């Protein structure tokens, strides 16, 4: 049996799909999606995103770096995430790069560097009343990792997760004029097209977006977030925290 067929069969039976030791998709036997937002340097879309989530009664998950959590200007956003009942978890402290972008995929940080950085991230989460037991899912910086990183994560009693591939949602940070730029129209179309073409729709998806893209991108996808949420809700999806999707 081909590996992807086996993985989808397991997901249909209520199990998660893994890649290189990280969970990348939840069970596909129910129409649930986990919206996963990362935050590091920018957060200009966070208030609009939180407003949509509140108005539509949706829950989401926010993975924040220590740098994000230490920024006093972002503190009200973090407190609102917690107050509104969203999952708030770790995304590393200093947004380390764990592996090179090209060539062999090997770990380029030591275990000591990895642990120290992640512990610092959890120390910042604790300042907002978030304990490790409440935030055991960890999303790696740059959404880029190795099997060794997944192993070190497990040794710390945590679970590594990553976004589900197949859409361009994670390209909402790309800047106009760069070769990597992906427009908001293209991102929205890719998500809806995947929903139509995947045998299981978007069931069990970890759909990743960013809390902000910075001044280099004027085509902000958070301005289309309400439209996306409405279209997917019309198709019967509910939006849950990652700890609910993957429990």
* Percent of residues, the chain, with pLDDT higher than 90: 93
Tens-place pLDDT, residues 57-96: 999 999 999 999 999 999 999 999 999 999 999 999 999 9
Residue 152: pLDDT over 80: yes
Strand segments, DSSP code E, in the chain are 17-19, 22-25, 32-39, 61-64, 87-90, 137-138, 159-160, 206-210, 238-239
Helix (H, G, I), strand (E, B) or coil at 62: strand
Determine the pLDDT at residue 12.
Answer: 54
Q: Which of 222, 176, 198 is nearest to 52 (CA)?
A: 222
CB atoms within 10 A of CB 105: 16
Compute the average pLDDT of residues 9-24. 77
User: What gap in Å lies between CA 59 and CA 35, rounded to an integer?
Assistant: 8
CA torsion through residues 135, 226, 72, 216, sign: positive
Tens-place pLDDT, residues 163-200: 999 999 999 999 999 999 999 999 999 999 999 999 99
Tens-place pLDDT, residues 99-117: 999 999 999 999 999 999 9
Determine the pLDDT at residue 188.
Answer: 98
Q: How buried is 30 (Cβ within 10 angstroms: 0-12 exposed, 13-18 middle, 19+ buried)? A: middle
Q: Which of 196, 241, 247 is nearest to 33 (CA)?
A: 241
**Which DSSP symbol is given to 161?**
B
Determine the pLDDT at residue 116.
Answer: 98
Determine the pLDDT at residue 247.
Answer: 86
Q: How far is CA 95 from CA 20, 38, 50, 140, 242, in A?
A: 20, 11, 23, 8, 21
Determine the pLDDT at residue 2.
Answer: 55
Compute the average pLDDT of residues 16-40. 96
Residue 205: pLDDT over 90: yes
Q: Residue 77 in contact with residue 104, Cβ under 8 Å?
A: no
User: What gap in Å lies between CA 185 and CA 171, rounded to an integer?
Assistant: 12
Q: Residue 48 in contact with residue 222, Cβ under 8 Å?
A: yes
Mean pLDDT for all residues in the chain? 94
**Which DSSP symbol is given to 163?**
P
**Which DSSP symbol is given to 25?**
E
Give the confidence band of 13 by pLDDT, cuts at 50, 70, 90: low
Determine the pLDDT at residue 14.
Answer: 61
Residue 210: pLDDT over 90: yes
User: What gap in Å lies between CA 189 and CA 29, rounded to an integer?
Assistant: 24
Residue 10: pLDDT over 80: no
Angle between helices 111-126 and 147-155 (to 10 degrees): 50
Determine the pLDDT at residue 16.
Answer: 85
């Amino acid at each position: 049996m081909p590996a992807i067929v086996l993985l989808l069969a397991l997901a249909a039976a209520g199990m998660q799909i893994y890649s290189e030791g990280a969970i990348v998709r939840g069970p596909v036997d129910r129409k649930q999606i986990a919206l996963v937002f990362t935050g590091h340097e920018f957060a200009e879309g966070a208030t609009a995103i939180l407003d949509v989530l509140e108005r539509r009664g949706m829950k989401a998950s926010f993975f924040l770096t220590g740098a994000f959590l230490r920024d006093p200007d972002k503190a009200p956003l973090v407190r609102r995430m917690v107050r509104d009942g969203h999952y708030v978890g770790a995304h590393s402290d200093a947004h380390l790069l764990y592996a090179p972008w090209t060539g062999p995929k090997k770990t380029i940080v030591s275990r000591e560097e990895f642990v120290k950085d992640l512990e610092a991230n959890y120390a910042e989460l604790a300042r907002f009343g978030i304990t490790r037991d409440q935030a055991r899912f960890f999303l790696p910086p740059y959404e880029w990792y190795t099997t060794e990183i997944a192993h070190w994560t497990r040794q710390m009693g945590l679970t590594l997760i990553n976004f589900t591939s197949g859409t361009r949602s994670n390209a909402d940070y790309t800047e106009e004029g760069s070769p990597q730029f992906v427009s908001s129209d293209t991102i929205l179309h890719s998500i809806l097209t995947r929903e139509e073409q995947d045998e299981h729709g978007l069931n069990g998806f970890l759909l990743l977006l960013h809390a902000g893209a910075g001044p280099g991108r004027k085509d902000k996808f958070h301005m289309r977030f309400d439209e996306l949420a409405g279209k997917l809700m019309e198709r019967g999806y509910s939006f849950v925290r990652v700890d609910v999707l993957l429990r």
